[in-house]
Amino acid sequence: MTIEQLREKYNTDRIRLTEGEGGLPCLDIKTELAEARIYLHGAHVAHFQPAGEKPVLFMSSRSAFEAGKPIRGGVPVCFPWFGPKEDDPTAPMHGVARLQEWTVTSIADLPGGEVGIIMELLPSELSRKFWPHNFHLEHRIRIGRELSMTLATRNTGIEPFTISEALHTYFLVGDVRQVKITGLEETVYMDKTQQMKRFTEGTEPITISSETDRHYLNTANSTVIHDPSLGRRITISKSGSQTTVVWNPWIAKAKAMPDFGDDEWPNMVCVETANEADNAVSVAPNSDHLMQATIKVETM
């Protein structure tokens, strides 16, 4: 379906298919409950703001908005691998899903005033170059007072395959140095800043005081970002996920990333709903795997 056909089919007072940054097509949603922006490139949720609240997602002012490049901020979709591909250093970081334009298959008004969007990705020349499997991937997004995202993987081939994946969510915070993160107490994690050595989190909330890249394993717990600077709590509930990643680049790494502003690191923290490492998922032929994250904002 062409962009004009999408406009004719779906444009309403609540939903507009338009051109976003870099001329990339996106869906702008505005209802009594919330507003959001979703790019077709990467099925990427770039903005979510419940009515009467501040924006929930962080977007870098230096992000590229170009075909074949990832968008920095919002919610990148990492699939079918997370981080570098272990057996191929030439493969793109975090997989191919965030580098391609997805197809909109459904936009619907849901009960209670919410809006539901379904986008799909099928095997392509790019995916087959690095990962020769048949799959059908859907990103099911629900916009209301809460943001719900479900990554649905179906194995359409004749052999099982293994995936690692993430909804790599960047959250906007007032000052990351004042933030506390709860829900991951006493959980084993791999620390990327220390060559992936394993540690066990203590009993106190997580605080950020240096570059942080921790991959918490075997946890299905909800995670809460306590942000006194913005006076709010953000709760990330999940299902079908056993890994949670907490990331902030801090000063030096922020300066080293060309698509990330040098001084933007204090205003973001990633809390990612994922499956990776020990928690990679095997999907049998003609079977499905669903991973869901739901984001709720409350005043402290």
Catalytic residues: 168, 272
Whether 10 contacts 17, CB under 8 Å: yes
Cα-Cα-Cα-Cα torsion 197, 203, 209, 214, nearest 10 degrees, comes to: 30
What six digits make up the tokens of 97?
A: 């899903």
Residue corresponding to tokens 């995202």:
149
Cis bond upstream, residue 80 (ω within 30): yes
d(CA 46, CA 73): 7
Give me the torsion for CA of 61, 67, 73, 74, rounded to 10°: 120
CA–CA distance, 10 with 33 (Å, rounded to integer):
19
Specify the residue for token string 């829900």. 183
The percent of the chain in helix, strand and coil, each rounded to the nearest 5, is 15, 45, 40
What secondary structure letter does DSSP report for 6? H
